[in-house]
Amino acid sequence: MSTLNPKMQALVELFAEAKGFPEMTAPEAREASEAGIPLAGDGPAVDSVEEIEIPTGHGHHVGARVYRPTADEPTTVVIWFHGGGWVIGSPKADDAICRTIAAESGALVVNADYRHAPEEPFPAATDDAFAVLRWVDEHLAGGRPIVLSGSSAGANLATVSALRAKEADGPAVALQVLIYPVTDHDFETPSYVEFAAQPPLGRGEMEWFWGHYVPDVADRDHPYASPLKAEDLSGLPPAYLTVAGADPLYSEGLAYADALKAAGVEVTVREDADVTHGYVNFLAAVDTGNEVLTEIAALIRAIPATPRGASGEPAQI
């Protein structure tokens, strides 16, 4: 059993008093989750933030926020997908995260939304996420290296997009950043057993999320839903992957890191034993998220710049 740090423990006690998502409808859960946004703080100032719409095919569009850290031209583009079990969450909820990544890495950050379940179940979110990657590559990156990143369900969409890009022979991805990713639908792993009732995310919440996102259990084995089920992970970009000690997703996160390593993918794993799932959204309350984002920013800064003429000039945002 993990011992939580005092700041995390204080939040857990607050979460334990709140009504759980399994007792709510999806719209009610979205409204409740918005109340937690102040826990992230405001994030640092950046040069500009622009709201855009990205076409994802078949008449669909998703909203995105594009963060330019300074007036200088960024050399890297980061795509960020928010967490929330494919049901809740929004670019607004992850605004402070994306501001921090932009300010500390110097990269252009695209904080992209996607269609949510249950209104739009699997594979809608992964189709949108891959479409966002392709659009950024074609219309925004201008040959600059692209980083796929996200937390929880957003990390799932990031790594699935990397898998789809490999299968489609592009776009090229320089790095995947996976913060406590969802990688499987097995509710009997050691961490699911140990942390079945752990606020803010336990087994009941994850069963509720999966039930909305992939209601047909047979479909959950698809690697675009559960990337740990993929037969071939070789050729994926290097990964930075975090796991939280008091998180039902702990076991599957480490299992995915091991699977990537076994496939020859370079993986950096960070374990934080004294926090729960969701800590990166608690930047104003728990220090761990800020430490992780600083590490991520350093990795992004270290990515070699690609000649801008490789696929056209960068778009002006």
The proportion of the chain whose per-residue pLDDT surpasses 70, expressed as a percent, equals 96
The proportion of the chain whose per-residue pLDDT surpasses 90, expressed as a percent, equals 94
Residue 305: the pLDDT is: 83
Query: CATH homologous superfamily for 6-303?
Result: Alpha/Beta hydrolase fold, catalytic domain (3.40.50.1820)
Catalytic residue among 152, 161, 191, 251: 152
- Annotated catalytic residue 185: no
Question: For 87-99, how does the pLDDT look when each residue is reduced to its tens digit (9 = 90+)?
Answer: 999 999 999 999 9
Task: Answer yes or no: is pLDDT of 248 > 70.
Answer: yes
Residue 287: the pLDDT is: 97
Catalytic residue among 113, 127, 184, 247: 247
Question: For 252-308, how does the pLDDT look when each residue is reduced to its tens digit (9 = 90+)?
Answer: 999 999 999 999 999 999 999 999 999 999 999 999 999 999 999 999 999 998 744
Residue 114: the pLDDT is: 98
- Annotated catalytic residue 212: no
- Annotated catalytic residue 152: yes
Residue 207's pLDDT band (cuts 50, 70, 90): very high
Residue 2: the pLDDT is: 66
Question: For 44-73, how does the pLDDT look when each residue is reduced to its tens digit (9 = 90+)?
Answer: 999 999 999 999 999 999 999 999 999 889
Average pLDDT score over residue span 230-251? 98
Task: Answer yes or no: is pLDDT of 314 > 50.
Answer: no
Contact 93, 281 (CB under 8 A): yes
Catalytic residue among 82, 185, 212, 277: 277
Per-domain residue ranges for the chain?
6-303
